[in-house]
Chains A and B, each alone.
With several copies, the nearest count.
Chain A
Amino acid sequence: MDIFDTAAIRIYQTPVQHLPEDLYVPPQAFAIWLEQFAGPLDFLLYLVKKNNVDLTQMPILPITEQYLSYIGELDTEHFELAGDYLLMASTLIAIKTELLLPKPETPTDERDPKAELIERLEEYAQIKAASQRLNNLVRLERDVFLAMVSIPNQDAMSAEMPSYSPNLLLDSLFKMQLQPDYQMHTINVDAVPLADRIASISRQLSTAGSRSFYQLLDKAQGKIGVVVSFVAVLELMKRHLIGVVPTEADSSTTSDTNGTDQLSSNYDIPPLTLQWLV
């Protein structure tokens, strides 16, 4: 018995030989249509539902063909959308290939790729349903609202007005653009936040052009400040926002370490200047 035969697609208990016509979507509308799905698993789930089959009995071959014919419509203009879908397509093709090959006589330890895909689909379907239940909960700022009131007048609150540096604003903009990726490891108790150092160093270099590492330090931050500043500089170099240039002015110190005293010149690292590249 081959449950993967196209004939296994049933619509209202009737086996069908051809893919339902109503699945056709004009190419230009395709990308927009695809954006309605939360991803390839969601799309696959739709195809399974559309074909009215039990998930555990999912016929891989016809579903794969439908899936591939849709993905074929994805043009280069929507490449960013395509990545995840193409990955799924390759998974489906791999499963399809496996199913077409003769089964080995001896059972192997390898997991059945089809069973694995079905398991993933089930898990996804479960999360999707759970997310809908979550969305049905009474939610703050959609169904119920916090009461907002103003605090007493400034002068009643405090005699002296706090004064802020305009650099706070600028740093916030740098931080907005340059904040470390959330994938990066973060130090739990960071006395000197990395994002703050990155922002401050970017601001200083972008206004001054170039500065030495020492000049960029905030002396109040102590040793940990030096370490975090160094990491910040490395991060900015990785992003090609700043570069290192040799310092020109003090050629006098480097000129007298010629040939004769090679050992000491190895220790005498010329000072380096950091430069804003943007």
Chain B
Amino acid sequence: MVDVDDTRQDDNAQKPISATVPPLTDEQQQSLENISKHIEVLLHASETPLTANVLKQHLSLSSKELNQALTLLQARLDTGVLSLHETASGYRLQITDRYSPLIQRVFPQRQERLSQALLETLSVIAYKQPVTRSDIEQVRGVTLSSNLLRQLFDKGWIVEKGYKDTLGRPALLHTTAQFLDAFGLTHLDELPPMPDIKAIQALS
């Protein structure tokens, strides 16, 4: 039943981080602890990976504070099942790879089945890119769930690039090369021609 190797070092938060760093006072340690928790919250709540700059900006941190807090966060996470993952588009929290057999066994469907809501959202992005979140909501007529966008980001099928020059400067969404791969396309031109949605809409 227990098929996962759990014999890892427990880098507990209470331990000094490393000998090379000058020791912190209790107060500094406490403040760093709080910052690391705030980062953890934001990573859990964000639809997209968060860059160092975004984290620094939202939590008003210096680069040094951010790095220290991230180290602390990673140490705290090591006792659990998540890891801090840095990708080209920023940091995200991810279930540690060694648990993938467990996930595969319990949720075999997880990989293959795409929900209609996810496909619709992806189609709107693919055919109408670049689009904002509210463009998608407009076309689909329903509010977009964070979890759904997060799934598309996780699959690496969409990215945020640039901003629309309107109120609030919403981020623009595009599909990626991985999206083309997954659908067996080499170029966006190869997408099947779009149906005349307007005409269908007018009729039905």
A234 at interface (Cβ–Cβ under 8 A)?
no
Interface 9-residue window, one of B10-18, B53-61, B193-201: B193-201
B140 at interface (Cβ–Cβ under 8 A)?
yes
Q: Are B112 and A202 in contact (CB under 8 A)?
A: no
Task: Decide: A49 near B204, CB < 8 A? Known: A130-B127, A176-B120.
Answer: yes
| Chain B contacts for A128, CB-based, 8 A | 120
A to B contact number (C-beta, < 8 Å) = 279
Q: Are B95 and A206 in contact (CB under 8 A)?
A: no
Q: Are B97 and A156 in contact (CB under 8 A)?
A: yes
Q: Are B110 and A144 in contact (CB under 8 A)?
A: no
Contact with A along B117-146 (1 / 0, CB 8 A): 101101110110000010000111111001
B50 at interface (Cβ–Cβ under 8 A)?
no
| Chain B contacts for A139, CB-based, 8 A | 112, 182-184
Contact of B117 among A38, A171, A182 (CB under 8 A): A38
A185 at interface (Cβ–Cβ under 8 A)?
yes
What residue in chain B is nearest A128 (Cβ atoms)? B120
Q: Are B182 and A173 in contact (CB under 8 A)?
A: no
Contact with A along B142-153 (1 / 0, CB 8 A): 110011011001
Contact of B142 among A38, A125, A136, A143 (CB under 8 A): A38
Interface size on B, residues (CB 8 A): 70
Q: Are B196 and A145 in contact (CB under 8 A)?
A: no
What residue in chain B is nearest A146 (Cβ atoms)? B94
Q: Main secondary structure on chain A at its contact with chain B? A: helix
| Chain B contacts for A178, CB-based, 8 A | 200, 204
Q: Are A137 and B192 in contact (CB under 8 A)?
A: yes
New A-B contacts (17) at CB < 8 Å, excluding given A135-B114, A168-B114: A39-B142, A84-B141, A84-B142, A130-B192, A141-B146, A143-B97, A145-B100, A147-B82, A147-B95, A148-B147, A151-B154, A152-B95, A165-B183, A166-B190, A169-B127, A183-B146, A185-B163
Interface positions of A (Cβ within 8 A of B): 38-42, 45, 48-49, 52-56, 83-84, 88, 120, 122-154, 156-158, 161-178, 181-183, 185-186, 202-203, 206-207, 239-241, 278
List, sorted by A's number, 21 A–B pairs whose CB atoms are closer than 8 Å.
Answer: A38-B117, A53-B204, A55-B201, A125-B200, A125-B203, A126-B195, A137-B192, A140-B183, A140-B184, A147-B44, A147-B45, A147-B82, A149-B82, A151-B45, A167-B192, A172-B116, A176-B139, A185-B169, A186-B160, A202-B195, A240-B203
